[in-house]
Amino acid sequence: SASPECSINASAAWIDVVLLIDTSSNMGSANLRKISTVISLVMSKFTIGNRANISAGEHNTRVAVITYDHTARIVANFTDINSLGDLSTVLNKIQVSNTADANLYE
């Protein structure tokens, strides 16, 4: 077991989250905005960051963002997002592509 253990309290969670977001034109701008809103609401329960002092019992949640249409792209690495504000900024910059292809094979 991990020491210290991961909390069942979201604000004290010690996890890595990778958000995989479809940006193909099939998604549509309205749905992409809805997804961004839901992600922000859910992730607001977590302490987002990269500076936890695990030995002192501090935990936080690291977040990375990957988008895909016909190609997958790393939009933000774990070290790029240090707050809910950073995550919101990244999500708000994501645009729907002009291709309907969604490559689920790579």
Q: How many CB atoms lie within 10 A of CB 15?
A: 13
pLDDT tens, per residue, the chain with 106 residues = 555 565 577 777 778 999 999 998 888 899 999 999 999 999 999 889 887 666 666 678 999 999 998 888 999 999 999 999 999 999 999 999 888 776 555 4
Q: What are the φ and ψ backbone dihedral angles of 101, each rounded to 5 degrees?
A: -70, 135
